[in-house]
Structures are given as C-alpha cells and as structure tokens.
Structure 1
Amino acid sequence: MVRTFLVFFVLLSSFMFAQNKLNVIPYPQKVEFLKGEFIIPEKFILDKNLSKPEREYYKRYLGEFFTLTYGAKEELHLVQALFPPSIVPLSKEQEQENYTIEISSRNITIKAYTDQGRFWALQTLIQILKQYKPVGKIPAMKIEDHPKFAWRGMHLDVCRHFFTVDEVKQYIDYLAMYKLNTFHWHLTDDQGWRIEIKKYPKLTQIGSKRKESMIGAYVDNTFDGKPYGPYFYTQEQIKEVVKYATERHITVVPEIEMPGHALAALSAYPELACTKGPFESATKWGVFDDVFCPKDETFTFLENVLDEVMKLFPSQYIHIGGDECPKTRWKECAHCQALIKKNNLKDEHGLQSYFIQRIEKYINSKGRKIIGWDEILEGGLAPNAAVMSWTGVNGGIEAAKAKHFAVMTPGSYCYFDHYQGDPQSEPNAFGGFTPLDKVYSYNPIPEELNADQAQYILGVQANLWTEYILDFKQVEYMIFPRLMALSEVGWGTSDPKNYKDFENRVISHFKILDKMNVNYAKSIYNISGKVIPSNNGIAYELSTSQNPNGIRYTLDGTVPTINSKNYQAPVSIPNSLTVKSAYFEGGQLKSAVSSQDFIVSKSTGKKITLEQQPSENYSFGGAFTLVDGIIGNVKKLGKTWLGFQGKDVVATIDFGQKTDFSEIYFNTLENKGSWIHLAKSAKIYVSDDNKNFKIIKEIGKEDIQNAKGKIQLKLGKQNARYLKIMIENAGIIPSGNPGADSKAWLFVDEIGVN
C-alpha cells in the first residue's frame, strides 16, 4: 500500500551547490528542479497520528534542524497523491526502497511504498537541509529515487581488534547515513571468537582472548606482550545491535568462519581438529594450518553453534567464510583421507566442497541460505550458495554464469584496509592502494556477463579487516570518505567521468563529518604523485583535490614553504633526488608533506613489457612501476610494488638503442604469514632484436635467500638494446608454512640497470 508522508519544515541547510546541484550522496536517480522555492517556516509540523516510535525517529533525525510540533492534516497542507510511476520497471526489492520527495512553495512531501523507502528519503532530506541551511529556503524540486543493487554492504572484522557495542552502533549509523543496507559482522577468526554461544561457554572463556598481539609492520615480527581480551558480545548485546540495525533498515549478516580461520575455536575445543593440539588463539596475522576436521563431532558442534546464531540473526543469509583453508592437516589426517575415499571425492578441494555442502544443507533446512567467500567454489559450489567475490571478479563471474547469486567485493576496489593515500604519509595499513577515485570507478557488473547473468549480481560490499586498526577512530579514518564512493556505486548513480563533481560533494560532506567529530582521512587534500614517461626518462606529476596552483615543491630534500617552487607541470627527474611537496592555501600549509626518493638508472623510464600481469590488488602503475625510479618500501606494500600470485615475472626492457651496462638490481619480499615468498631463481638475458635472447646470468634460491631478497648482480660488460629478466615464483607453498598448498605470492619493485 502506498504510504504518503507530508512534511512542513523549519529547515536549516548549507550553501546551494553550483547550478542547483544537490550535495547529496549517493546522488538520486532523478532530480528535477521546479519553479518556486520553499521558505523555511519557524516550526516543523508533523502528522499528529504518527506512532510513538515514528515520533522518536523523527525527533532523532530532524530535531537538530527545528522544533517539532504535531498537527492535523489541514495544518500540514496535505496533498493527496498516488505514488508516481517508476522511472524504470522495478524489482520487488527496489520497490521496497523506492521513494519520492516533492518540495513545493507550500510543503515537502515524502512518498514511499515502505518504511525503508521513507527512511532513505529522510537521509536524502537531511542532506538537503544541511545544504540549504544558511539561505533559509530550498528550491522547489522533485526527486524520484531507488537503488540499483539490493545488496549494498559494509563489513567489519571484530576479531583482530574488538569494538564495543556503542562503536558498532555508530558504524551502523554511518551505513544508514549513506543508504547502505547490509552490515556484514565478522565474528570469528583465528585471533578471537567474539560471539557468546551458550552451549559452548569455552568459546568465549578461552577463545575470546589471546596472549599478545602483533604490532607494527608484519616484516618486523614484533609483539606487544600484552594479553588481549577476553572480548566478546553477549547474546543480549547481539540482539541489541540487530534491533538497532533493523530500526535503520539494515540487515546484519553474521559470519562464522569454517573450515579455516578456526584457531580461536580450536583453542577452546581442540577435539574438533585433525591433530591433538594444544592450540591457542593466533597472535600473528595471516593464515594457519590448523582448521576444523570434517568429522561428525565437528558438524554437530557447528550445527549447534549455527542454531544459536540463527536465533539471534533473522537475516536470509548466514556467512560461513570458506576462505583461505589450508589443506595440510587434511592431507595428513587418516579420517580425512578415508572420507575422501568413501565419498569418491577427487582431493582435499573436493573435501572442502563436501564440508560446505553439508553445512549448507543444514542451514537450508532451517529456511536460510549460505553465502561464503569465493573459495567455496573449490571442488564445486554448494547447490543454493551465494558467493562473495573477493580475490577478484572471477568468483562472481563463475557464480553468476552458474546461476548463483554473487556479491562483488574485489580487493582491488573494495578492501578498505588498503592505503587510500601515498603510503609514505599514511598510517600503517595492510597493503595495496585503493584511493577514493578507484573505489568510485568500480562497476559491480563484470563485462563478461550478459544481461541474464548480470541479474545474479546482488550488489557490492566493502570490507574492513582490522589487523592494523587498533581503535574506532582508525576505523573511521579507513572508511571515510571511501564509504561515500561505495554508497554511490551501490546506488547505481556513480559516473567516473564526473568524478570531480563527486569529489566536490565529498568535500562538502566533510563539514558534516566535522560536526559529528568523525576522524575521516584527508588524503584527497594531500599531494598525489604519479611517475610518467618523459623524454626517454621520467617526470613526476603532482595533483591535489584543491587548486593545483597551491602546490609547492623542492628537489633538494628540504621541506617546502610558501616560497618554494610553484608546481606548473610534471617535474623532470634527470638524476637521483628527493621530491618533497605540499599544498598551501592563503599562505598556510594545508596538507601533509609528501616525500618521494628517486634512484635513476639506465632502465628508468624505458619501455617495459610483462609476459604475465600482476594481481589486481597489487598492480598500481602496471609494468612501468618496475622502471619508475622508486625503490619499494618493504614495510608498506602500497603502490611501489607489483604482486604476482603463482606467476613468474618475465619483463623485457627496451633501452631504445644499444646501451652499455654491467649491473642489475631488484628486490623481492619474504612475508610468509601473508604467503609472500622470495623468488626461487632469476635469469638475465640480452638481445639486439627482441627475438634471439642470450642468457648472461643466473642465480638460484640459495643466493636469493642469502641476499634476503635484495639482489644486486654484476653482469660483466654488456652492450645490448634489450634486457630480459625472468624472476621465478616460489610456486606452491610447502607444508609447514601459512597457506600451504596454495600459490605463493612474488613481490618485485624496481628493476635498475647500471
């Protein structure tokens, strides 16, 4: 039934955007400006027939703008109207969230099919009020709006670091502000079990704490020596959060990890493992070999856990993880091997599929569905499962083509634990480089899908893993402003061609976040540097979200001042030097000082090709990153490294003419906890025609290990136009290492030649 809500306001809202452009995020599907304007009255009169919960709801969200009073329909200048025709035919889900706002000279009318639609309309209206507050009037307009995607989600990991009920509620409020409708709550992992299960009290007595925590960069391998926990949510607290989210029309999807990421659970109930233990909650980050053993007592345990979980969470989907499950223990386990044989499974990947399908059958029997990370595709997808595609887009493509629903959350666009600005000037993060404009550029519908297959893409989600996020202020820093870009992508109104318009709206919303005391990242104010080819060498292109005339820079390593060189065009880098840059406004420093060291060699800026491309998560700058004059920071795997999973690096450098050289250098990383291994070998070749190559140097695993990945090779006197380097990936990770039996990562930074 159509529900019509009329509102007569005392408004207060911010400056009109240029040319009647609303400062609304996500931007509505259709905005039509009309003649006239709505003058803000002194009192805001609500329908006296509103229920008590509705009155409280309006008081909470509109009370900051005006004094609320209640009156009869006549006082409201009620306009009777049918819900207007939709812009496009709507699905049932879209109809649930559809709304219109009509602002005339007499009143403001909200129309919606459901309370959820009205709630989203209210979020839009609040943003309009804040925009037009200073001028005291709003231009007449009509907004017709609905989301494109049914699933618009944000994830929060509370296992690596824990957040209080009040902080989780605040997180949910942030989602509601920007019309995200799904909260994915990651409640169990190796480092902590965070949900009370009454049948298994040791899960929280033992599994909710760890003896210490890793701190700093992973490669430092340092720990704080401080016990962490016990931290968990009681079932009453869970109910409180779910109720809070429901009132904001947000679905809470719980995640109970299986069969991997189970160390915290095994620390409490070691009999559920393939070996005897003892186990303890992980103190390091990464992936661990000890996982749930697929035996009857394990399934009984998990079914009992899920029974309690499903009573607490009314969501249609229950997330069962399914990611990063090493098969080491299963390979060595007599029971697992017998189970593989008994069920005619191909291998341990087939056993993972058996595990997931058995859990799915149980959850389906309770009227629910499972969703899991894309590794649940291993060995065959469970019949009714949905896939959360994180390792890239292929998992979502495979699921959709098989007529399974998928939520797109590829790490390269949707992992908010990645750096969002220059890693050198950002707090320590997991790695990767996902700035605001990249999030905004994402299209959740892969090009490989036809129209029928695309219907299986439920939507989009961003994930916040918290290994390097110690408190809630840092949570805020990592999600804002990227959450705004995600919201517009999910709503379906993002347009990368108009990114600057979106960025201007983001900056206007910073004023809102300031009033809320939100610790948002100001990375878009900082100077962004990009190395580009220039005159057979390189140049450094600087940019900022502000007026580029405000950029000042130095080339001698000194901190720039207002009197330093004014940036006009990309800065030529003829030799090794340090560029420092900053943004000034009104004579004052307004940004962090960005610093970049360049080491120029004979390969710097030269044409380079790769036979195999890097992983999307670690591909910033593509092949050119290997000849951009920047040595990678081993503690910050941001935009200075290329990462290859299971692939060799085969790079060919074209000097442009025959060139004398006698040395080559490059770096590879070792970070086994993150599945990153040193190269297995390296071979150097030369050629004059790019067809016939001669090998001139070869080194093996022992030499690379002795050099700790920092390779510097003497080649003798060479004279050639082309140089090819083949850096061999470590291959399959051996037993006894995190991620055993999975493909190793190979990270490479700069290939320098002298």
Structure 2
Amino acid sequence: MRVVQGAVRRRRMALVIAPCVAAALLPVGQPAVAGPSPLLPLPAHATAGTGSVRIDDGARIVVPAGDAGAASAARRAVEIVARTRGITLNVADRGPGAISFVRLPATNGGSSERYRLDVTPAGIRIAAATDAGLFYGAMTLAQMLSPDARFGTGVAVPIVAIDDAPRFAWRGVMLDVARHMQPIASIERVIDMMAQHKLNRLQLHLTDDQGWRIEIKRHPELTRIGAWRASSTPNAGAPAGRYGGFYTQDELRALVAYAAARAVTIVPEIDLPGHAQAAVAAYPQIGVTGDRPPVSGDWGINPYLFNVDDRSITFVKQVLDEVMAIFPSTYIHIGGDEALKEQWQASAAVQAKMRTLGIADEKGLQSWFVGQLGAHLAKRGRRLIGWDEILEGGLPPTASVMSWRGEAGAIEAANMGHDVVLSPGPVLYLDNLQSGRDDEPPGRMAVQTLADVYAYDPLPAGIAAAKAHHVLGPQANLWAEYMVTSAQREHALFPRIAALAEMAWSPRAARDWPGFLARLDPQLNRYQRQGIAAADSAFAVDYTVVGGVGPAVRGKMVTIGMANQAGYGMIRYTTDGAAPSSTSRAYARPLSVAPDTVVRAVTFAPDGRALAAVRSFDTAPAALLTRASASLDTCAGAGIRLRLPLTPDATGGGPAYSMNIYDGCWLYRAAPLGQIRGITVSLGRLPRNFALRQPQRQMVAWRYNPTHFGTLMVHARTCDGPALAMVPLPDPATTPNQFILTAPLAGGTTDTDLCLIVAPPVGGPLYGVDTVRFTLKDIR
C-alpha cells in the first residue's frame, strides 16, 4: 500500500464511478450510443445499424477454397474465441456459413492492412485484399465474439459496418532478450497478444554487453562464450555460476514463421559499434584493444567497441548475412546507441584510419561505420534502422531512425527526409513502473501510467506537415535489466500495449480516455482467460490518510480516502475482514474508522467483475507508521532511480528496493516524533553492478562514513539536520544480504521529516531500504 500524506491525491486518482455511457462504433463526430463497444483498438470508420445477428457454438466460418491466408486468419479467430468465449467455430471452404471471409482484388495505393467487416441480419462478412487485412478482420471478429465476461454461450453481435485501416504502418514492441533471455514460448505469447491488438512489428534486441543471443554459424564463439555471464542466480539449464543461453537459427526461423502467421514482422537488432562487450569477449580480435573482457554482468554503458579495420567490418557483415538469412524483415536494426568513443580515441590505429578516410572526429567515424553496413544491407534489398545516435556525424542516405532520447532525433531525421519510428523514453519505455505502489515489481522509477501511454501522440509537432509521411509509427520498448520472468514482462507490457495499439491504429481525433477504459474492460477479461499476467496497477485501490498520519496516530479516528489511478469502475470495501464483493459498500467519500480497523477494497467493473486484486489498509498506529521503500521519497538531486531486486538475476518473489543508485538517501515525511521512541530499518545489500557513463564526481554515494563497513544515519528535517541515530552496518562477510538495524530515536515532539542515509565504504555494495518501522510510546 502507498500511504500519501494530506488530502486525497487528484492526479489521475479522482474518486471513481462506473461510466454511464460508452462510445459505440461510430465515425468520428457522431454521438455515442448506449452500450460499450468491445473493440480495441477503435476502428477507423464504423457505422452502427439496428438489431443484431446471433453467433452460437458450432457456427461455420466459410473461406475461399484454396485461400491459405484466409484459412489461417479464420483459424486464429477460432482459437481465440475458444479461449475467450468458450464456443467452438468451424472453418469450411464451401457451403453456407454464419461468417464468411472474402478475398478482394488487389488495389494500388492505400493501406495493405485494410479490411471491411459487415454485420448484417444474414451474418458477418470480412473482406480484404491481403492476408494482413483478412487477419485483422479476424481479430476484430474475435473481439466482437467476446464482448463481455460470459463464457460458453453464443453472442448477439450488433449490426455494424466497419471500414478499417491503421493510422501508422509501424506499430511496434521491442523485447530485450540480451540482458535477460526469454523462452521462445514466452515470446510467442507476446506475439499472440500483439496480433490481437493489431501491433505488427516485434523488435528483438539480440545482442548487448551482457549477452549474445543469436547463433552465428560462421562465428560459433559468439554463443559458446558470448552468450554466458557470471551470476549467483543462474537461469534454468545454465551451468552453475552462469546466466545465459541463445536461440538457434532453427528456433528463430520457426519464431519468424509463427509471427508471420499472425501478421507480425520480427525486426532483429544487432547492437554496434557499442554495446559490444559480449562479442569482444568471444572474439577479442574484432575489438579495439585486443584484450578479452568477460561478458559483462553490469547494467549500463560499457566502453567496448567494434574495431573499424577491414577484419572487423568483414566480421560484422558476415554476421549480418546470417541474420538476413533468418529474418526476412526489410528493416535490420544495427543499434548505434551509447557508443563511448574513448577506445577509438586512444587507439593509434583507429586515429590513423580516420586520417586516411579524412574523418574529423569519432562521431564522423561512427557515421562511416554505419554507412558501410547500410550499403551492405542495401545491396541485399534491406534497409538499416538505428537508434537516434546514428544522426551524429551525419546520417547515411538510406538509413531510418528510431528516436529514443525524446522526439528530437525523429524531428531532425524526418525533416531531412528519413523515415522515423517514435520510441521516446520515458513514456514508451515500458520497463518504467506503472505506479508508485509498494507492490510494483522491479523496474525504472519514472512512473508511466496507462493514461500516460494513451495520451502520447507519435506525430511530433516539430515535423513539417510535408514530412509527416516519414513517421512510420510508434514503438514501445521493454528493456530487461530488471525483467527476469515471463510474469514480470507481462506485467510491464499489459495493459499498456492496449493503449499503444489504439494510439498507433486509431484516428487521432477518436482518442477518448473514458471510451478506451470501457473497451479495455472486456479486454482485461480476455487477458485473464488467456493466462496473461496483466498488471492491475491502473485499477488497484490506493489509500490516503486524510489530514496526515501524525494526527491519525494521535486521534480517536482515522479518515481514509480511496481512489484508483484510471478513474474507472466502482470501489467497494469492507471493514470486517471479509473479501469485498460486487454487493459490498460502495465508496463515495472519505470514511472515518476506529484505529486497528483493516479496510479491504476492490475496484469493480460495471458488470460486477473485480478489475484488480484486493488491497488492504491497516489503521493500527504501528501499521500507519510503517513505510516500504516505494513509500519513501528518494532525496532530490542527480541520479538514476531504480526499483531493484536483491540480486541482478533474481527470478521474482523477493523484495524490491526503490533507490537512487547515486545516493543512498531516503526521506520519511512527517514522522510523529512525539509518539516515537525507536526506529527499525530493514535493509538489503545489493551488488553495485552498474557501468555508468556519468563521471564519478556526480555520484553522491560516497558520503562521509564513520564506520568500517558503512553506516545508517538518521537526521531530522533535512539530511544536514540534527543527527538522531547512527548505526554501523554489519560485516558483509558474516551477515546475510537481508538484515535489520534498530536504534533509539528521540529528539522532537512535532511531525518532522526524517532523512535516512546509508553510507557504504568507498567501492562497497549498494544498500536499499526495504521497510522503516517505529517503536511507539504508549500513546493511548
């Protein structure tokens, strides 16, 4: 639970009520009608009629004889409907049927993904010129046949005419399988869900400093050595003390075929010239120094680069040749990001090469390097795409840019006439947390809510109107430093990629947050039926103590506010220990309860389904004063704020520590010192496995430390205020990585901010606060 001081927070957390009316499938500008549309993303054009047609168990889908694309699309719809609605549809290539797929003649111009879907009293007809169009019509059909939570019963499908095509051609998701490898089955589940959301590009980040995940037959050491790093928590099947693995070429070809059958193109990424440590560990001769480093176990930016001599360029081209043989994607991603130039700067051979080429600086050298690869790809009918750093030093004429450092790279490249994909952090970096709740799993702490993703528009105002066609579309990225398990990845992806899908497919003018939530409601049920571990962060009940915790601890009653992030559904609660049901008391205004009461609350959909797990709030004084690390503020200043597991490859279920890795400093707001006589802090000892681009002088972590193994210090008001407690940290060699420190605490009678500082020895481990508890005086 996240305790928030003061009045009920209002940012996307207004008191929530059930929506009265949801948007139906209507063209932009027409009035909404009663009854939620089940479709997500919203179609481009739809006109509602009168009446409905019923589709029952055993209904036939008729496809043109010999049309493999239509048959495949129909089978996908059958599979989804069986899982989400529990009815069986049958595919046939002749005879009558309640549903028919029709192949239209090919046309010049327009979207290749366009389809028509007409629901009439005679049945449902899906028509398109392409396999992709028929597939997306099938996905719309599957949603129309699962409009609510009923299971095992037929569906009355409203009469409607849909003429649909996407706003953007590129609707992407990136999975980082280099930092933490995903099983093929896990990737297939993501592809299945992408297809159902009409997302069509899956970028696989296959190589990085921490691992090389793709088999290259000509260079086997890339996987024999480069696919494995040292680890205290190896993944299943890995040798003891190591983490890693790789995909064989046959596995990747099968994955490409699996994706293609679902209208998803896999875009491979081989990251270079930086993020090359795993490759250089395998083949030191392609590096700059000739030394063999280990495969990195550190997150961040490592210094190893590919060399720019003929041998290294040839090596990379040979790798790309095998990549192209596996992946038919037009675009091949070559990374190009965060290439630190120090090794090139220090190399006499590299500097001589620059003089020979007439290149003025290392940014220009990277541009030359990228240009060599772009020309190699172009000769084979492929196109190079890279992160926006490839703009530095000059962009090769055929290159496309994926803008991640905000929108500036996309604006510059598009205005120069290059195609661009919008993938800006933090809003489309889905490894950012979805809320500030204590129960969020590890990730980056720049909270990006479902509403944040939905509100983003991937057509920046800075791109000239005449250049807008160079915007291919948006892509959300899931970096995996802190995403180890399939459940963690699905929590981060879903339901936020539903917001991505509507942003990428539907007309901008149709953007409607309440309507989206109403249509997301049945989608949440589809996730559950298909076993997707979607986050409930947007719908989970958050509690506030109205007036602050201090007055509540001292008073006779505790006043509690409740809200959820999305502002959707009805919150219902209990105070007797029972689990809330759809008939429990509805929350309408802050309620006052006696101390030691446990409030349990859930957000319910209009149909009475729970939209989130039960969240509880204990009003006992000790519980009110207990704060987990997510409920503490990290101290102001520069840094990288992360929510970290106890070990880098932890497989979930353990604690997560919210911290600034530059500064082990937390603020406990408004501690009622007059009621406290002691403090108990639970801490975790974490490895300092970060390769940081920023100079060491920016780190605040090396505070004065008065004891040998480090010190926990508690100050009043500010971090320079009066010292209230100072406790030495234990010897790491003789204590576990999770431990508890206690100290008496005295020094005030008012509600006062406390600053908790954990100062490790220079070069020592990180320490994270798990929880802060107080020993109370006898106050009642």
In the aligned structure 2, how far is the partner of 1:566 from the partner of 1:130?
Answer: 28
Preserved contact between residue 400 and residue 453 of structure 1 (Cα < 8 Å): yes
| Residue number among 646, 668, 673 corresponding to 2:691 in the alignment | 673
Counterpart residue number, 1:305: 319
What secondary structure, in the 3-state scheme, does the structure 1 residue paired with 2:138 have?
A: helix
Counterpart residue number, 1:101: 117
Aligned partner of 2:228: which letter? K
What secondary structure, in the 3-state scheme, does the structure 2 residue paired with 1:419 have?
A: coil
The question of 1:591 aligning with 2:607 is answered no
Spell out the pairing of 1:393-412 with structure 2 (5 A cutoff): 393-412=407-426
What secondary structure, in the 3-state scheme, does the structure 1 residue paired with 2:181 have?
A: coil
Structure 1 stretches lacking a partner, 5+ long = 1-15, 85-89, 216-223, 600-609, 620-632, 645-669, 683-699, 716-735, 737-754
| Residue number among 15, 29, 42 corresponding to 1:27 in the alignment | 42
| Residue number among 514, 535, 556 corresponding to 1:521 in the alignment | 535
Spell out the pairing of 1:42-191 with structure 2 (5 A cutoff): 42-47=58-63, 49-51=65-67, 54-55=70-71, 57-62=73-78, 64=82, 65-68=87-90, 70=92, 72=94, 92=109, 94-131=110-147, 134=153, 136-191=155-210
What secondary structure, in the 3-state scheme, does the structure 2 residue paired with 1:163 have?
A: coil
Aligned partner of 1:320: which letter? I
1:139-181: per-residue Cα shift (whole Å, max 9, x none)? 2111111000000011111111112222222221111111111
Counterpart residue number, 1:752: none
Deviation at 1:368, TM superposition (A): 1.2
Spell out the pairing of 1:631-650 with structure 2 (5 A cutoff): 635-636=657-658
Spell out the pairing of 1:347-746 with structure 2 (5 A cutoff): 347-493=361-507, 498-528=512-542, 543-544=563-564, 545=566, 546-547=568-569, 550=572, 583-584=601-602, 590-593=613-616, 635-636=657-658, 673-675=691-693, 712-713=719-720
Preserved contact between residue 213 and residue 225 of structure 1 (Cα < 8 Å): no
Aligned partner of 1:713: which letter? D
Larger mean CA deviation between 339-348 and 511-520 belongs to: 339-348
Note closer, same or farther for the CA distance 1:198–1:506 as it changes in structure 2 (3 Å cut): same
Aligned partner of 2:193: which letter? Y
What secondary structure, in the 3-state scheme, does the structure 2 residue paired with 1:488 have?
A: helix
1:323-380: per-residue Cα shift (whole Å, max 9, x none)? 1111121121111222233333332222222221222122222221110111111212
Note closer, same or farther for the CA distance 1:406–1:186 as it changes in structure 2 (3 Å cut): same
The share of aligned pairs that are identical, in percent, is 32
Note closer, same or farther for the CA distance 1:69–1:61 as it changes in structure 2 (3 Å cut): closer
Aligned partner of 1:61: which letter? A
Note closer, same or farther for the CA distance 1:643–1:461 as it changes in structure 2 (3 Å cut): farther
What secondary structure, in the 3-state scheme, does the structure 1 residue paired with 2:49 have?
A: strand
Counterpart residue number, 2:211: 192
Aligned partner of 2:398: which letter? N
Aligned partner of 1:184: which letter? Q
Preserved contact between residue 148 and residue 491 of structure 1 (Cα < 8 Å): yes
Between Structure 1 and Structure 2, which shows a larger proportion of helix residues? 1
Aligned partner of 1:365: which letter? K
1:40-75: per-residue Cα shift (whole Å, max 9, x none)? 355315146244675455334315233426364666
Note closer, same or farther for the CA distance 1:105–1:187 as it changes in structure 2 (3 Å cut): same
Aligned partner of 2:493: which letter? I
Give the TM-score, by structure 1 length.
0.70
Q: Give the aligned length.
A: 609
Aligned partner of 1:182: which letter? R
What secondary structure, in the 3-state scheme, does the structure 1 residue paired with 2:215 have?
A: coil
Preserved contact between residue 481 and residue 520 of structure 1 (Cα < 8 Å): yes
Deviation at 1:110, TM superposition (A): 0.8
Cα-Cα RMSD: 4.6
Preserved contact between residue 83 and residue 111 of structure 1 (Cα < 8 Å): no
Preserved contact between residue 73 and residue 134 of structure 2 (Cα < 8 Å): no
Note closer, same or farther for the CA distance 1:70–1:48 as it changes in structure 2 (3 Å cut): farther
Preserved contact between residue 525 and residue 591 of structure 1 (Cα < 8 Å): no
In the aligned structure 1, how far is the partner of 2:399 from the partner of 2:101?
Answer: 46
What secondary structure, in the 3-state scheme, does the structure 2 residue paired with 1:484 have?
A: helix
In the aligned structure 2, how far is the partner of 1:517 from the partner of 1:350?
Answer: 49
What secondary structure, in the 3-state scheme, does the structure 1 residue paired with 2:332 have?
A: strand
Counterpart residue number, 1:691: none
In the aligned structure 2, how far is the partner of 1:124 from the partner of 1:505?
Answer: 13
Deviation at 1:104, TM superposition (A): 0.6
Deviation at 1:277, TM superposition (A): 1.7
Note closer, same or farther for the CA distance 1:515–1:263 as it changes in structure 2 (3 Å cut): same
Preserved contact between residue 679 and residue 701 of structure 1 (Cα < 8 Å): no
In the aligned structure 1, how far is the partner of 2:580 from the partner of 2:127?
Answer: 54
Preserved contact between residue 429 and residue 636 of structure 1 (Cα < 8 Å): no
The question of 1:40 aligning with 2:55 is answered yes
What secondary structure, in the 3-state scheme, does the structure 1 residue paired with 2:230 have?
A: coil
In the aligned structure 2, how far is the partner of 1:714 from the partner of 1:135?
Answer: 68
Counterpart residue number, 1:727: none
Structure 2 stretches lacking a partner, 5+ long = 1-23, 26-32, 549-558, 627-635, 643-654, 664-687, 723-762, 764-780
Aligned partner of 1:467: which letter? E
Preserved contact between residue 570 and residue 603 of structure 2 (Cα < 8 Å): no
In the aligned structure 1, how far is the partner of 2:712 from the partner of 2:689?
Answer: 11
The question of 1:204 aligning with 2:219 is answered no
Larger mean CA deviation between 151-160 and 61-70 belongs to: 61-70
Deviation at 1:383, TM superposition (A): 1.6
Q: Which has the higher contact order (CA 8 A, sep 6+)?
A: 2
Deviation at 1:543, TM superposition (A): 2.3
In the aligned structure 1, how far is the partner of 2:280 from the partner of 2:359?
Answer: 26
What secondary structure, in the 3-state scheme, does the structure 1 residue paired with 2:534 have?
A: coil
Note closer, same or farther for the CA distance 1:406–1:67 as it changes in structure 2 (3 Å cut): closer
Counterpart residue number, 2:767: none
1:65-107: per-residue Cα shift (whole Å, max 9, x none)? 33426364666798999889xxxxx994x52011110011112
Larger mean CA deviation between 144-153 and 579-588 belongs to: 579-588
Spell out the pairing of 1:182-331 with structure 2 (5 A cutoff): 182-212=201-231, 226-229=240-243, 231-331=245-345
Preserved contact between residue 153 and residue 461 of structure 1 (Cα < 8 Å): yes
Counterpart residue number, 1:652: none
Counterpart residue number, 1:749: none
Note closer, same or farther for the CA distance 1:228–1:58 as it changes in structure 2 (3 Å cut): farther
In the aligned structure 2, how far is the partner of 1:62 from the partner of 1:500?
Answer: 30
In the aligned structure 2, how far is the partner of 1:504 from the partner of 1:80?
Answer: 31
Aligned partner of 1:170: which letter? R
In the aligned structure 1, how far is the partner of 2:240 from the partner of 2:209?
Answer: 17
Preserved contact between residue 275 and residue 302 of structure 2 (Cα < 8 Å): yes
| Residue number among 335, 353, 356 corresponding to 1:342 in the alignment | 356
In the aligned structure 1, how far is the partner of 2:574 from the partner of 2:387?
Answer: 45
Deviation at 1:643, TM superposition (A): 11
In the aligned structure 2, how far is the partner of 1:295 from the partner of 1:230?
Answer: 30
In the aligned structure 2, how far is the partner of 1:401 from the partner of 1:378?
Answer: 15
Counterpart residue number, 2:630: none
What secondary structure, in the 3-state scheme, does the structure 2 residue paired with 1:524 have?
A: coil
Preserved contact between residue 316 and residue 369 of structure 1 (Cα < 8 Å): yes
1:239-277: per-residue Cα shift (whole Å, max 9, x none)? 111111112221111001101111111111011111132
Deviation at 1:515, TM superposition (A): 1.3
1:378-411: per-residue Cα shift (whole Å, max 9, x none)? 2122221111111111111111111111100111
What secondary structure, in the 3-state scheme, does the structure 2 residue paired with 1:109 have?
A: strand
In the aligned structure 1, how far is the partner of 2:436 from the partner of 2:529?
Answer: 27
In the aligned structure 2, how far is the partner of 1:79 from the partner of 1:254?
Answer: 33
Note closer, same or farther for the CA distance 1:303–1:77 as it changes in structure 2 (3 Å cut): closer
